């Protein structure tokens, strides 16, 4: 399958899942928020969040067994210390901003939320700026 078609189809699956979660449960499919409240014992209505996270993990198991080409099996290509820093910043930032690529980028923009458009524009722009600095300033075009 061409990368363009698989990107579009994958996006449709993501959007369909988010759509059904909203229609059936009345919930926004924001992964960072679902994960955080699934891990917080005092969350009310915690069960569906744990189940949703389990489904995401299960998708990883399925790809490992059936289509490992979709996974970065050879490693992410990022040194571990940078990976750890990135993880902390992603965890902190997604809580503070109340959303990530899914909650703001897909559901928020999809429902026409100005807030989420600001958030999405910000994280895409900063992401591009950081990649520019890491690849073309720090590494001098390497990696």
Question: Residue 101: which of 84, 126, 81, 83 has the closest Cα?
Answer: 126
* Closest distance of CB 83 from another protein, Å: 5
Count of C-beta atoms within a 10 Å radius of residue 94: 23
Q: Does 129 interact with another protein (rule: CB under 8 A)?
A: yes
Q: Does 137 interact with another protein (rule: CB under 8 A)?
A: no
- Which residues in 1-39 are b (16+ Cβ under 10 Å) and which e? eeeeeeeeeeeeeeeebbeebeeeeebbbbbbbbbebbe
Q: Which 29-58 positions form the footprint of another protein (CB under 8 A)? A: 29, 31-32, 35-37, 39-40, 42-45, 47-49, 51-58
Q: Which 65-124 positions form the footprint of another protein (CB under 8 A)? A: 67-68, 70-73, 75-78, 80, 82-102, 104-107, 109-115, 118-120, 122-124
Residue with tokens 């700026």: 129
* Closest distance of CB 73 from another protein, Å: 7
Q: Does 139 interact with another protein (rule: CB under 8 A)?
A: no
């Amino acid at each position: 399958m061409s990368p363009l078609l698989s990107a579009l189809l994958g996006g449709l699956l993501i959007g369909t899942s988010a759509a059904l979660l909203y229609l059936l449960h009345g919930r926004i499919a924001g992964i960072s928020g679902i994960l955080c409240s699934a891990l917080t014992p005092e969350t009310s209505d915690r069960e569906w969040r744990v189940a949703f996270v389990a489904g995401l993990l299960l998708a990883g198991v399925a790809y490992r067994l059936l289509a490992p080409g979709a996974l970065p099996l050879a490693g992410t290509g990022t040194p571990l210390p940078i990976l750890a820093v990135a993880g902390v910043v992603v965890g902190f930032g997604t809580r503070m901003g109340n959303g990530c690529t899914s909650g703001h980028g897909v559901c928020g923009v999809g429902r026409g939320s100005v807030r989420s458009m600001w958030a999405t524009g910000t994280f895409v722009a900063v992401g591009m700026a950081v990649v520019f600095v890491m690849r073309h300033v720090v590494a001098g075009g390497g990696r």
